[in-house]
Amino acid sequence: MTAIVSSEKLCSGCDVVKNLTEFHKNGAGRARLCKPCVSALNKRRRDKRITEHGIDAERERQRTVNARSRENPEVYARHQAATLANNLALRRLRENHREEYEHMVREERYAAGLPI
């Protein structure tokens, strides 16, 4: 018997049918949420942790995550590659939206009470 393999999947976060490439791999299958929904969920969780425990506690938590990652060379290499990819994407985004970026930097500096 031949299994029918769909190349699409319904995201249980946004209820949109998307291509499988829009879902992270999860063992032999795919994640329940699409990549943008996972990203939004992670951001909400991070914001909640910062609200409840403060930015210093969040930085300490991140240091612990990083230290644990360094203990496993495969995980560490993957995290390093992901960080590099994120930074390169951010750089391109910044270059493609220079004016908006500089405006946002001024807003954040103003909000932090820094000289503009």
Q: Binding string, 31-50, against Zn ion, x = CB under 5 A?
A: ---x--x-------------
Q: Is the CB of 14 or the CB of 81 nearer to Zn ion? A: 14
Q: How far is CA 33 from CA 27, 47, 61, 73, 106, in A?
A: 14, 19, 25, 28, 35
Q: What residues from 2 to 31 belong to the interface with Zn ion (CB under 5 A)?
A: 11, 13-14
Q: Is the CB of 13 or the CB of 79 nearer to Zn ion? A: 13
Q: Is the CB of 14 or the CB of 89 nearer to Zn ion? A: 14
Alpha carbon 67 to its chain's center: 19
